Each structure stands twice: as structure tokens, then as C-alpha cells.
Amino acid sequence: NSKKAWVNIMYGCDEFCTYCIVPYTRGKERSRLPEHILSEVQELIDNNYKEITLLGQNVNSYGNDFTDRDYRFKDLLNDLYQMDIPRVRFTTSHPKDFDEETVKILAQGGNLMPYIHLPVQSGNNDILKRMNRKYTKETYIQLVDWIYKYIPNASLTTDIIVGFPSETESQFQDTLDLVKRSRFEGAYTFIYSPREGTPAAKYEDDVTHEEKKDRLNRLMALVNDGYLVGTQRFEGKIVKVLVDGTSKSRDDVLAGYTENNKLVNFKGSQDLIGEIVEVKVTEAK
């Protein structure tokens, strides 16, 4: 057991991004009461868990639906920061609700990990509007700038869709530009495909498949560069690794993730599984 757990903090989604079916299938956003979440985390601590990941379609809107209390995602992070769990992560963040105050709370460090998955989807304002993402390239970059200002060591990853209906080459260039600017250390990249029942499925899918593939390949080349930079900055450094288990091919090689969510393989005995150990990084790939 790698001693990692996932804790739902909310269900449903109110965002209605035009390409996504989730709000139609999972209903309105409903936040779990903080006391229920915190007691579940306490139970995990009592069972010697080392890491929790908070789950929600948009964790940053946590608590917006409470009518009897003023308690938001940043308050939850603050409460978890004071608990005896070594690592706290969360997914997925929506850039529109992620404010400077939340970044400052994460900047306390401790058990709040310096890794943020922050889906951008596109770097062009017209496409973002057609996606109904409710932020602009400028407000996204402002958020990225806050993250690097308050958490200089942060690792950022993202999600990007290429070839959204009507995306032009120059709009795609805006995405490449944002990727460079944001210094992502990894991204999930997708070619747009229509999902039945979503508003975007009615848009004319006017980008050719060849063009979509070409854009994806150019984007992936850039993302892979960022990925390498992200791993190379830890070369020669000592990192803390939560050991998940042995590598697939060898029993004497252990594998686990650093605080910045980088996978590390190293030689060690199996009784380290489930522990957090210090490892010196000799080579980055």
C-alpha cells in the first residue's frame, strides 16, 4: 500500500464548458461539509496515510454553495495545513476561481505541495470564450505569475485542446505562446472531438484532421521541452520521495513521486514502500 488516498470534497459541476458533458451527467455543484472532510482526513492520518488528493471538478469553487457559512477552498487548505498529514494535493483547479489569496495559502508550504495542475485549454481569448471558460489569457497569466512569485519552486502542468471548432493557425500560436510563457512542466494534450449532447457538438468542426494532428505534434514538442526542463532542475538535488512500490521490471528498484510530482526510480529495499525518503537525483530523463 503506497499510503495515498483520494478525498472527494465536492460533486457535480456548474461550469458548462461547451465541450464537456460533466455538468449534464453529474448535476449541480454540491460541496461536502468541511467537518466531514476533515474527519475523513483524520481517519486517514490515524491509518498512517502519507498523502491525500482532494477531488472535485472545480475545487476552487468549493463552498460557494454553502448558505449557512462562509467557508471556501482556501479555508479548507488552511485547516488541512494544520493537520498531521505529510502531503496535500488537489485536482482539478479552474483558473477562474483561483485567487491570489489561495496562492498565498499554498505558499505556506509544509504539507501543501508545490505542484498545481491548472488546465488552460487554449491561449486565445476568442477560443476561450467559445469554450465558455470564463477567464482570459491575461487573467490566466496573472495567476501563473502569482504562483511563481509566491511559490518560486512550483511545478505547473495543464490540459490543452487543439483544433477546437474555428481555431485558426494564429489562434493556435497564441496557445504555443502561453505554453512558453507559463513554463509548464507537462501537459495533457488533446485533439478536439465533439461530444454528443454538448453545445460545441453543434459548432461546425472546420479544422481538418491533418491540421489538428500537425498542431498536436507541434504542441507536444514544446510540452516535452518543458517536461525535460522540469525534471532537469532537480538533477543533483536531494528530493523527498513518497515510495509507491517497486518498478515494473525490477524488485530492487523502487518508484515514487517527489513533492513536485516528479517520478523517481532508485535502488532500495521494499520495506521503504509507503514511506517518504530522501533521494539524491543523479540523472533526469
Give the predicted TM-score (pTM) of the model.
0.95
Predicted pLDDT at 17: 96
* Residue 257 φ/ψ, nearest 5 degrees: -115, 145
Predicted pLDDT at 249: 87
Predicted pLDDT at 248: 85
Predicted pLDDT at 274: 95
Predicted pLDDT at 2: 74
Whether residue 26 contacts residue 12, with contact meaning beta carbons closer than 8 Å, is answered with yes
Q: Which residues of 188-217 are buried (b: 16+ CB within 10 A; e: fewer)?
A: ebbbbeeeeebebeebebebeeebbeebbe
Predicted pLDDT at 247: 87
Residues of the chain under the 70 pLDDT cut: 1
- Alpha-carbon dihedral sign for residues 174, 176, 179, 180: negative
Cα dihedral 25, 77, 122, 219, rounded to 10, equals -110
